[in-house]
Structure 1
């Protein structure tokens, strides 16, 4: 097998799940030594592929230099326009602004025919009742969620009672009438949903809960799905 063919096959292996991939597993797939895989990884990096990882930890393909930077089907373009326009309507102010900027960047970088299609997309979005505006700077909350840092905040519940909470933020759900933070509440020692418009005085602490965000989020979403299924079953029985 030529080196060019081997590099091509290595890229195919890196693209396929699951990731990360160890040099030993890729060597077995390609019929070469792990040392050869390490050399080929460096060669691909030199050609522009962004590959994260190192020996002993496995490798993940982050950016594929062989794929065009922008290449969308017509349906993909319509989906992008619809999704970004929806974010303009329901996202917090910073996110809504970013969605508009993303649309303009797409229009400027697409080929003329697709740029015209984006500007005159068939699909659009509108909402007569937008979510209540947040009581905090949501960009800080999003960053704390990415960084897996505990946050402290003031919260007003549905009865008007005000409490101070320390929570591990897991995800933000933009819903029809209210945007919600799904988090692990340190006070209640359980998962809770907090409306962004009822929050105030957000403080990001230096207390990390890394690397637990993903497993906690998975467990929280499983609980939400189970509760939704139970409610749906109860409605059918009535």
Structure 2
């Protein structure tokens, strides 16, 4: 592993825990304790806000940004590719946030790395997503995050209409369409709903709690058991 890559991983490991001992870091990075001590000292000397000391543990200072050297060229290109590919398929609010986050990262990259990332020859044209479905996507993903019940009118593949009240669990993209994985109160079971067949969507103030048999993890286990697959 290149030293620059190891330093990047070291920062990420420290950022991800309240306190990381040198022994734990050495085990994860598969290096010696001496190497951990030397790498931490080098990062501190370059202004990385790592607090702590040998024999006690290390933590990353709150509110600190990654220094420019911490993004190798390949990882910067991967970030650009991810935003370019995802943008046309996300709701406008999340797409804008992704662009803003990428801009923040690009602003602190070294010139050579930033140029390589900007010149990446990977693009995604407009995927032909239904504009109304993308608007619903924002409401549903926020409802799932906040554990809020949602109600809507739904038309199935045969055109039959029904009114549903569901626990939104996850939004999934299938190339051309978005679907909502949910636990449906009407059917008392898990159901999948295409966002382009949803109308009169209402996000309720009422919140739901995770209950055995009605969670995303339960749905994932069922999918794995029935088809050997797993919701992404």
Q: State whether TM-score is above 0.5.
A: yes
Cα distance change of structure 1 residues 150 and 213 upon mapping to structure 2, 3 Å threshold: farther
Given the alignment of the two structures, is residue 187 of structure 1 paired with residue 186 of structure 2, yes or no?
Answer: yes
Given the alignment of the two structures, is residue 69 of structure 1 paired with residue 75 of structure 2, yes or no?
Answer: no
The CA RMSD over aligned residues, in Å, is: 3.4
Q: Which residue of 2 aligns with 1:11?
A: 19
Q: CA deviation at 1:175?
A: 1.6
- Output the TM-score relative to the length of structure 2: 0.64
Q: CA deviation at 1:106?
A: 2.3
Q: CA deviation at 1:178?
A: 0.9
Whole-Å Cα distance in 2 between the matches of residues 77 and 183 of structure 1?
35
Whole-Å Cα distance in 2 between the matches of residues 90 and 213 of structure 1?
32
Q: Which residue of 1 aligns with 2:201?
A: 202
Whole-Å Cα distance in 2 between the matches of residues 208 and 84 of structure 1?
31
Q: 120, 124, 136: which one pairs with 1:126?
A: 124
Tell me the SS of whatever aligns to 2:228: helix
Q: CA deviation at 1:12?
A: 0.4
Q: Which residue of 1 aligns with 2:138?
A: 139
Q: CA deviation at 1:147?
A: 0.8
Q: Tell me, which stretches of 5 or more residues in structure 1 are unaligned?
A: 1-8, 17-46, 50-62, 231-238
Range 134-143 or range 80-89, more displaced: 134-143
- Output the TM-score relative to the length of structure 1: 0.63
Count of aligned pairs between the two proteins: 178
